[in-house]
Each structure stands twice: as structure tokens, then as C-alpha cells.
Structure 1
Amino acid sequence: MSAPDFWVLLGTDYCGKSSVLAELAARTGPVQPMSYDPALLPGDYGALAALPNALVAARAGRHSPEYVMALLNVAVAYLWDRVATAPPGRTPLLDSYYYKILVKCRLLGLTGGPWQDHWRSLPRPAGVIFLDVPPGTAWLRSGGGALLNAMEHYGPTAGEESFTRFQRDLRTGLLDEVRGLRVEHVPAGQGIAATADHVLRAMKE
């Protein structure tokens, strides 16, 4: 597969990726944000909007790991479909790419099928922008756990300890997956507009 020049916006849960991507999407500039977040999906990709609910059911044990991973591959395939239709002169900025999906599957014991090998065979980005956020801040953004889904914490019940431990392991796993790539860290606490500006500067440099 021939890969265009693209970047990845990466981070743990509730790091602010969706807000930054929405901010960039509202601007007319050199970056084309691409996300499988339901709030950011184009109208003709409505089938992906049902993915979060399907994954919650899958993690509840009603589906096999192979089925869960096949669902997750739809999100990865969607990103490539969007990259292929990116407007000329705009650099795609992909939400998480396959990295977050792959690491979460590993942490939650979801294995089987060809998916992990397939994801790792995909083209590598020109660089990664990593949004850093402390687990305590992420916990507050999750409404003290009220907004969590089953793929954002360890165990059957969401709690601050299981969430914090999962997020720390997730961060370690993500950085391990992108080792060898150019990674630019963007600290928390700048505000959405300032963070978006930081992302643009990092991509330009």
C-alpha cells in the first residue's frame, strides 16, 4: 500500500484528542483531521457510529475476542478510506491510527485472528503528536468514571484505581508501539486552541 504523508494524534483516554481535532477541523489550514469518534464522523460513515455500543456489548462477554477485534478493524479501515480521499495540499492527521486499538486489545486480553499482525504491517506515519495528561485529570474529565466504557479500565467495574492503572499501562504501551518514530509531546493545561496551535507547530517543524 502506498502511503501519503500523514501524522497521528495519540494519547490516553480523555487526553483531549477529540476536542483538538474538532478545533482543527473548524479551521481552514494545512491539516485534515480524521477520526472515528462518532461526533466527528462524516454523514456517509454512519455505520461506525454504532461501534462504541457494539464494543461495550462485546467486552461484556457476549461476543468472542475475534469478533471484537474485527469490529475494531473497521475503524482502522475507515481511517485509510479517509486518507485516500484527503484533499490535495492537506496533511491527514489520524486519530490514534491503530496504535491505541492494538494496545487496548493487548491490555484487555483480546487476542486471536490476523488483526495485530495486519495493523503492524500498515504504513508508518511521518510523526506522532502525543497529548500528555495526568490520570487524575483524565479521571475528572470522565465525570469521575460516569462516562467510562468497558475498554477504558481494568476489570468489570469502573473505579479510579482500575482506571488509573489502565491509563498508565496504556501510555506505556502506546509509547512502546511508536518507538523509533518521531514523537512530539504536547503537555496538558494549555487550552484547546493553544493545544491545536502546538500540534500545528510540531507538524510544521
Structure 2
Amino acid sequence: MSGGTTEFSDFPSLGAGAPRATTPFVVLLGTDYAGKSTALTEITELAPSWHVVSLDDEFLDSRHSLIGRLRRDLVSDVLPDLRHGYSLDFMVTLLQTATVHLRDSIERSPAGAPVLVDSYYYKILAKCRLAGADSHPMFDWWRTFPQPRQVLFLEVSPETAWKRCGEGAAANALEFYGQEPDRPAFEKFQSDLRQAMWEEVQHLPVTVVEEQDHVSRTVRILGEVMGRELG
């Protein structure tokens, strides 16, 4: 990469023939409102040959719309009634569908495409722990899933994250402690989430990406790491 703009040629392209069962991939990780979705959207525009694996609707194939519906139902139906109408085990079981879908999507990646995975199971597992499911048999299974070549960890300041969530207006119940998303409850949860995710990836190479003043700078760093790890 050179100059002040990001070009299509800056992004790597893997050679054909990578074994599907051991597809190399990189994980993009960060606390809530760290800017992962924005960066992934820009990457898909600049480097359409990359294969982005994410639970966000814009990255889900139409065949997998069920995953998006389950995610929305989790937020709208399960989390508000957690521990009363739904148990922690039920929440974990529902989130199991998301983790398996992410794993399967990695294995289905097009041969030769650089693969970038949004959060993988690390963030889901960390949030389950913070919700009160400190240990669960499914967690042990998730930890046997294929591991990435590298984790890119996006940092975000508490001030920026709070602003991006509309000062709590857009936050769901797995983004803050307690009943109301006031700033202390939000910031404490995000701090604990960061620690819990680090515990899950401490055995892996991690590149920390400090908060940038523009998404293009974040994307440039992602491109450099992807080129080094998968090129």
C-alpha cells in the first residue's frame, strides 16, 4: 500500500487450491460500536474478491435469512424476558446456531478467497459469560472450532462507543448491565466484554488497531494484515 488512498490492488488474493476444511482466515474483533460493520462494508466495496463472514444481514446469503431472523428474535423476544420467560441455557442454545453458522461459512468459503470473519465465536462466548453463563458444555465445543491465523482487535474509546449507540438508545440487553442502558452500565459492560474476549484469544496472534479518525485508515491496516497472513 502507498499514498493516501486504498486501491483494489492493495488487497491480497489467495492462490487456488486451499483445502476447504482448513481454510485460512483472519478474525476482526472488537467491543460493541468499535466500527467493525462499517469497516467490513467498505472492504466489500474495495475488495469484492474477499469473502466476509458475518451475522449482519447485509453479509448473509438469502438462503441463510433464518440466521438474521433468529438474531433479531433474540434481541426482541428472548433478552427482554431472560431468566423469566427464557433461561440462560435457552439463550446459549439459540446463540449456538450463530456460532455453527460462522464455522460452516468459513468452511464453505470460495477456494482462493481471503476470508475475514466478523467476531467469530469469541464475542458471542464472552457475552454469554457476562450474562451469567460462566461455563457451559457448548463453550468447550466452540473452542475446538478452527482457529484464525490472526485476530485484528479494533479499539474504541468509551466516549465514541457511547455516542455511536445513541447514548444508549440503540443498545440491546447484551451491551450493558442492568435494566437501563445508562453510561456507567454501558461502559462497565464494554470494559468487561473487552477483557472476556481477550481471554478467549490470548493463545492467538493479535494485532491491536487503535481507534482511527477515518474508516479508510482502519481498512488500510486490515489490508496490510490480510496480505501478510493470507497473501
- TM-score normalised per structure 2: 0.83
Amino acid aligned to 1:58: V
Matched, 1:114 2:134: no
Counterpart residue number, 2:199? 176
Of 131, 142, 156 in structure 1, the residue corresponding to residue 154 of structure 2 is 131
Amino acid aligned to 1:26: E
Contact kept, 8 Å, 1:30 with 1:89, in 2: the verdict is no
Matched, 1:78 2:97: no
Contact kept, 8 Å, 1:128 with 1:182, in 2: the verdict is yes
Q: Shift in Å at residue 3 of structure 1?
A: 2.6
Counterpart residue number, 1:15? 34
Of 106-115 and 153-162, deviating more is 106-115
Of 52, 59, 75 in structure 1, the residue corresponding to residue 71 of structure 2 is 52
The alignment partner of 2:120 has SS state of coil
Q: Shift in Å at residue 114 of structure 1?
A: 2.5
Q: Shift in Å at residue 112 of structure 1?
A: 6.5
Q: Distance in 2 between matches of 1:38 and 1:150?
A: 20
**Which of 1 and 2 has greater Rg?**
2
Amino acid aligned to 2:27: V
Contact kept, 8 Å, 1:13 with 1:152, in 2: the verdict is yes
Contact kept, 8 Å, 2:50 with 2:113, in 1: the verdict is yes
Q: Distance in 2 between matches of 1:156 and 1:34?
A: 32
1:73-101 Cα shifts (integer Å, max 9, x gaps): 11111112221221222121111010001
Q: Distance in 2 between matches of 1:99 and 1:138?
A: 19
Amino acid aligned to 1:204: G
Of 102-111 and 166-175, deviating more is 102-111
Gaps of 5+ in 2: 1-19
Q: Shift in Å at residue 154 of structure 1?
A: 0.7
1:33-78 Cα shifts (integer Å, max 9, x gaps): 1100123222111111123332232222221111111111111111
Q: Distance in 2 between matches of 1:158 and 1:168?
A: 14
Amino acid aligned to 1:185: V
1:126-153 Cα shifts (integer Å, max 9, x gaps): 1100100012110100011110011101
Counterpart residue number, 2:212? 189
Counterpart residue number, 1:164? 187
Amino acid aligned to 1:201: E
Q: Distance in 2 between matches of 1:81 and 1:119?
A: 12
Q: Distance in 2 between matches of 1:154 and 1:191?
A: 30
Q: Distance in 1 between matches of 2:142 and 2:130?
A: 16
Q: Distance in 1 between matches of 2:126 and 2:135?
A: 14
Q: Shift in Å at residue 29 of structure 1?
A: 5.6
The alignment partner of 1:26 has SS state of helix
C-alpha RMSD of the superposition: 1.7
Matched, 1:37 2:56: yes
Contact kept, 8 Å, 1:103 with 1:170, in 2: the verdict is yes
The alignment partner of 1:75 has SS state of helix
Contact kept, 8 Å, 2:95 with 2:124, in 1: the verdict is yes
Gaps of 5+ in 1: none
Matched, 1:27 2:50: no
The alignment partner of 2:174 has SS state of coil
Contact kept, 8 Å, 1:66 with 1:111, in 2: the verdict is no
